[in-house]
Amino acid sequence: MNNWDDLRFLVALSKTGTMTAAAKLLGTNTATVSRRIERLSETLGVPAFVKTADGWRPSEAVRDLIDVALNFDGQLKATLNSQTSGIEGEIVPLALGASPIISALLLFPGLAPKANPLTGVQLNITDRLDREGLGQNDLVVQFGRPDQGRIVARKAGDISFRPYRFRDADPDCDWIGLNNAPARSRILRSAHDLFGKEPKFRVDHFMALHTLMQTTRLGGPLPDLLAQNTPDLVPVCASATPVTLDCWLFYHESRRSDPGMRRAVDWVIHCFESFGVAATQSEHA
């Protein structure tokens, strides 16, 4: 492989899964990404990527190359951030992907001006809905332990959920569910058992569910932290045991020594501690 610049295109497409998103990440156009990937495939003698229903996925022929490129990219960022850390006016950019409910309930409150969070870090927070791996993110906070790989993972805390309805609603009211995802299955089963019927509506995430509940006055499963901030909501069954989901953060192992990453991880843990839902678990690869 004579053109090392092709590795940027390889990594971008593996992170994003689409030519359009890879082009945006690289600051170029879709045609250029397609051309570079095609050239790489010709060099290898086999397709570098395979088109699937979920987007472009790396073939076995490039997985080792991607691992090398990702490790180099992470080490380069960590080295640059170490050099600029502490220099007045220098800002470390960091992309954080998180489930919308985690961002809204735990991370956004931790960005209040009085908290003076993340000095020297420019944080770009994006919604992350059930996508595997880091994707375009440097750091991810999600429900459930991530798949093992070349990552550093740490349990940040946990969030409890239970079915709620409005205080003045009919006990036999309809309810709103979520589009199916493995991490939510226990929550949805618990709600189905208590409401005794299929949901009337389904949405993608808990923030949308909460908003639609307020509009329709229907019931639905919610995090206790969110329901407690809505006085008109009461548990469908006060004696029912809540469903608790673990929240994990993870990042590529090449960023262990990155001072910007360390500050971001400490901030995430502090956000969970502020609400009394933090874990006491050490990092592990």
91-285 matches 6-79 in CATH topology: no
pLDDT above 90 covers a percentage of the chain that reads: 42
When the candidates are 3.40.50.970, 1.10.10.10, 3.40.350.10, 3.90.25.10, the CATH number that belongs to 6-79 is 1.10.10.10
Q: Where does 91-285 sit in CATH, by number?
A: 3.40.190.290
pLDDT at 242: 94
Q: Is the pLDDT of residue 104 over 80?
A: yes
Residue 258 neighbours by CB distance under 10 Å: 26
Mean pLDDT of 192-211: 94
142-172 pLDDT, tens per residue? 998 887 678 899 999 999 999 999 999 988 9
Residue 213 neighbours by CB distance under 10 Å: 26
Domains of the chain, by residue range, sit at 6-79, 91-285
Q: Is the pLDDT of residue 55 over 60?
A: yes
**Distance of alpha carbon 36 from alpha carbon 41, whole angstroms:** 9
Measuring CA to CA, how many Å separate 144 from each of 166, 185, 209, 244, 250?
29, 12, 20, 11, 11
pLDDT tier for residue 76 given thresholds of 50, 70 and 90: confident
Q: Which amino acid is at 272?
A: F
257-271 pLDDT, tens per residue? 888 899 899 999 999
The DSSP letter of residue 180 is: -
pLDDT at 134: 84
Q: Is the pLDDT of residue 61 over 90?
A: no
